[in-house]
């Protein structure tokens, strides 16, 4: 697993799950959607469209640094499950620096 943070096992929390899915698509999308996610390919729509359908509205300031510890664990688990490029400590630091 990534060196960015891997201190907790993901727990079920709907809000953390939505935020993590939103950010994975934000950081790894190609042409506006995440092709590695099977439900995106099946539905031919982006994760953000699916999240909008359940009325999820991310905060404008949402990024990796603003996720809870559980949200970060979910984010990293998604990256691993979808075989996306590893999220590194440098990526996390860049996210934190961008917030300042």
**Reduced to 3 states, what is the DSSP secondary structure of residue 99?**
helix
Q: How far apart are CA 13 and CA 15, in angstroms?
A: 6
Enter the pTM of the model: 0.80
Q: What is the pLDDT of residues 35-81, one digit of tens each?
A: 777 776 777 788 888 899 999 999 999 999 999 999 999 999 999 98
pLDDT tens digits, one per residue of 19-31: 999 999 888 887 7
Give the list of residues 6+ apart from residue 77 with CB closer than 8 angstroms, or none. 10
């Amino acid at each position: 697993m990534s060196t960015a943070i891997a201190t907790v096992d993901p727990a079920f929390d709907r809000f953390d799950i939505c935020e993590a899915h939103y950010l994975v698509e934000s950081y790894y999308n190609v042409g506006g959607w995440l092709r590695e996610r099977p439900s995106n390919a099946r539905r031919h729509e982006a994760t953000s469209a699916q999240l909008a359908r359940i009325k999820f509205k991310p905060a404008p300031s949402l990024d990796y640094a603003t996720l809870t510890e559980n949200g970060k664990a979910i984010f990293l688990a998604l990256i691993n499950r979808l075989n996306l490029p590893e999220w590194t400590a440098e990526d996390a630091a860049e996210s934190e620096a961008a917030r300042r």
